[in-house]
Structure 1
Amino acid sequence: MAKLEPMANGYYLWHYIPSTAAGVIFTVLFFMITAFHSWKLFKSKAFFTLPFAIGGLFEIIGYAARVAAHDKTGELMPYVIQSIFLLLAPILFAATVYMVLARIISSVNAEQYSPIRIKWVTKIFVGCDIVTFLIQGSGAGIMAIGSMSTTGQSIVLAGLILQIITFVLFLVTAIVFEKRMKARSATETPHVGSPWKKHLLSLYAVSAMILLRSVFRVIEYGLGNDGYLLANEWPTYVLDAVPMFIAMVCFAYWYPSELQPSLIKSESGAELASVGATLEV
């Protein structure tokens, strides 16, 4: 029978024995939805969604590591792997969401209605995402060192707060764009046949799940190593695994592969220039 064990230096990495059943269930669920995303990615050649598929792979690795940690609670590697990969996966989801907004704007040839120019939407938000990725990744690594656990948590917390701020600014950008689009005259509408509204709703749904998970993580790390959220397993699944799985399902259902700027035509019938070229990763 598995039991909670400390590392050689006496430091306990876990406050509980990770559930094998829960870990297996979510490993399988994320494997299935990630496989679907990978299939859609290569079938549609919408390579700007690649970070989303990689994020799904991170989720698979993270929950598989939790399964492996069930009877290895005194070993560092399974703990580090699950901690880092589950922490970083939503950042990759966010990177794709940022690029989707830029695609939506360019697909309807409506850059004038965005508070930020298309080329800067990706550069600003994905740039912040990269910084967040590096901060949280380094903090998660430091957390594995027992004597520096508090320092690592503080670094991760700073990265999570930056991620939330970035996400809020991003959502403000999306909402302003939507309101301006809805307010303009029907005679000015150059987006006949463009499914921008449903993809914007999908973007909001995925963003809400990522934001919910990020707020949970901020509270989790803010309470400290002995706080309730880090000391119990169920919050990780209910407030992290479930929202991220829902986000992946939403993104799969409303897959943005049809947002192809180079294929959208203007009112005169001439093809628009490929304003989305700068969005390719």
Structure 2
Amino acid sequence: MEFTFYYYSPSAAAAGIFVGLFGVCTLLHIYQLIRTRTWFMIPFAIGGIMEVIGYVGRLLSSTESPDWTQGPYIMQSALILIAPAFLAASIYMILGRIIVMLDAEKCSIIRLRFLTKLFVAGDVLSFLMQASGAGIMVKDDNSADMGEKIIVGGLFVQIIFFSFFVVTAAVFELRMANQRIVVSDKLRSIWSRQMMALCFTSVLILIRSIVRVVEYLMGYDSYLMKQEVFIYVFDALFMFIVLLTLNWIHPSQVNCELGRAEKYFDNIVQVREFVPAERREMESREHV
């Protein structure tokens, strides 16, 4: 099969819109993580940057039609494909911090010391497979099929780990309800909002990964590959909603409750938590 960059002329308007949308959300994420010291959101911000650069690549390709060059194509193909792996890495870390905040390790099916490590390890494996597959696919025509198979393998790894993660989060919620763990109204409110955001964004990334697997399994010259609308509906739109959701319900509030930050963002507004003098003094002694 002769490798073809695009079976359509990429839309400059659509690419430009998502460059702007991803750019605004990513800049806000960078500001939020720096101001609140929510450092585990760094991979999430990197994923946002990749989305921006990826759609810049599509924008550049739209100006070259029909004589496309390899550079912009590789930018958009590789970065849009692997960016969700970086978004997933931070989402995995949120669950562990929620469990610590609630002091509810007994409700988790995986011990806390292994929880984040397990899912991040799977995420890294998925990222490496997808990145290497994307590189091989555009190397030459003879490598396209092999590259597709590696990408599909990486997406399957992502789907397996994300499905297990969703199950882990669901079981945690069920056990918390069944065992009737007592938590304060404040923590219950934070827990409810953060778990809602975590599950919602996880499902979006999972659906996106399933669609991309189907896309590659049908072949590079399939109907899904030949219609630009699918990448904007099931990839660009879904990932934009993921970024926007965690802008709105930012996990810095969990970090603040864990004593790892002085501020958090609630509905895009920066808030400073009141910390009693006794708690500040106790925390200062613990850090000595």
Q: Give the TM bin, normalised by the shorter chain.
A: 0.7 to 0.9
Q: Percent identity?
A: 39
Cα offset for 1:11?
A: 4.4
Matching residue's letter, 2:153: A
Render the CA deviation track for 1:144-188: whole Å, top value 9, x for unaligned.
Answer: 122211111111001101100100101111011111111123xx5
The 3-state SS of whatever aligns with 2:258 is helix
Aligned to 2:36: 44
Matching residue's letter, 1:62: G
Residue 136 (1) aligns with residue 148 (2): no
Matching residue's letter, 2:76: Q
Aligned to 1:119: 113
Aligned to 2:10: 18
TM-score of the two chains, using structure 2 as the length reference: 0.85
Question: In the TM superposition, what are the counterparts of 1:207-222 in structure 2 within 5 Å?
Answer: 207-222=202-217
Render the CA deviation track for 1:56-109: whole Å, top value 9, x for unaligned.
Answer: 000000000000011334311111111110001111111111000001100111
Residue 148 (1) aligns with residue 143 (2): yes
Matching residue's letter, 2:163: V
Matching residue's letter, 1:196: W
Cα offset for 1:189?
A: 1.4
The 3-state SS of whatever aligns with 1:259 is helix
Residue 189 (1) aligns with residue 182 (2): yes
The 3-state SS of whatever aligns with 2:219 is coil
1:199 to 180, 194, 199: 194
Aligned to 1:180: 175
Matched-pair contact (CA < 8 Å) for 2:92–2:120: yes
Aligned to 1:278: none
The 3-state SS of whatever aligns with 1:263 is coil
User: Residues of 2 paired with 1:176 and 1:11: CA distance?
Assistant: 45
User: Residues of 2 paired with 1:17 and 1:49: CA distance?
Assistant: 35
Structure 1: runs of 5+ lacking an equivalent: 1-9, 275-281
Matched-pair contact (CA < 8 Å) for 2:3–2:144: no
Cα offset for 1:212?
A: 1.2
Cα offset for 1:262?
A: 3.4
The 3-state SS of whatever aligns with 2:91 is helix
How big is the alpha-carbon RMSD for the aligned residues of Structure 1 and Structure 2? 1.9
Matching residue's letter, 1:208: V
User: Residues of 1 paired with 2:8 and 2:279: CA distance?
Assistant: 63
User: Residues of 2 paired with 1:176 and 1:94: CA distance?
Assistant: 19
User: Residues of 2 paired with 1:197 and 1:182: CA distance?
Assistant: 12
The 3-state SS of whatever aligns with 1:193 is helix
Structure 2: runs of 5+ lacking an equivalent: 261-277, 284-288
1:169 to 154, 164, 167: 164
2:252 to 239, 250, 257: 257
Matching residue's letter, 2:101: S
Matching residue's letter, 2:143: M
